[in-house]
Amino acid sequence: MKKISSVNIIHSSTRDYKETLSRCEKVIDENGVIVRNVVANQSQSDLKKLDSSADLILVIGGDGTMIGAIRDLSHLKTPFLGVNIGKLGFLTDLQLGSLELELPKIFKGNYQEESRNLLEVSNNKNSFTLVNEVVLHSGELAKMTSFSIYKNQKLIANHKSDGLIISSATGSTAYMYSGGGPVLYPTLDVFAIMPMFSHSSSTRPLVIPAEDELELKYEHNEKAKVILDGHNEFDLNSGENLKIKNSSTRYLLLHPEDYDYFEACRSKLYWGLPIVK
């Protein structure tokens, strides 16, 4: 793998990042790597100034910090690596206890590299790039709404439910996972579709290739909420549509050389572990 000679550092604005940043900068300096910029994740003006001259974007924070960095900077086509100072750390898998051991290895080119897809969601006004999922929700607790889903302009199904989650493979371990959806290997180019609390007992999650375009036609007589990566939201009115497709932009995520996705599922999601020992 390519050696890392320069980095941009993005850090969380809401977590205590200073000690971790100092440790990272010390390791970076000891390995002869150049720090081009250090930017807070909420400083949009500084983020917009970053270019593709660095070999790596080092993200210090939790999964939310990483997701935001990918949304803002994936167009640079620079790989991302996460240092976890959050809670779960599913995308930021460098732990503080192994920082001084793992970072030098990665700088020397000893790492795993994953290429993952992004979602592109559009209405008649705007287009958005997403890492995890788009959620349609009635906007109120235990209130049903109605919509239809089409694949390449062919009807999949009409639904009456509390809402809908459409996720990328990466997003299958986020909100989709909480709703009981399928766990998808993160490098798969697929969409997972799951109606929430459906009125039909036969409704089940559906996985389709991301090369297909999805269209959601909203048919309820009251407006609904659309939530993007749990971050941005807007109203969807009756008769309006959403289109969901694979983004033309992908992103690269770096992991330590011994990274194991299924070990991450076991240790962070407690996947497959018995409730009672």
Q: What is the DSSP string of 122-169?
A: E-SS-EEEESSEEEEE-SSTT--EEEEEEETTEEEEEEEESEEEEE-S
Catalytic residue from among 16, 29, 46, 63: 63
Q: Is 22 helix (H, G, I), strand (E, B) or coil?
A: helix
> Active site includes 63?
yes
The answer to whether the beta carbons of residues 89 and 66 sit under 8 Å apart is no
The answer to whether the beta carbons of residues 173 and 202 sit under 8 Å apart is no
Which of these, 189, 179, 170, 192, lies nearest to 265 by C-alpha position?
170
The answer to whether the beta carbons of residues 89 and 140 sit under 8 Å apart is no
Q: Looking up tokens 């997403």, which residue turns up?
A: 130
Strands 80-84 and 56-61: parallel
Burial class of residue 74 in the structure, from the number of CB atoms within 10 Å of its CB (0-12 exposed, 13-18 middle, 19+ buried):
buried
Q: Looking up tokens 């992908």, which residue turns up?
A: 250
Catalytic residue list: 63
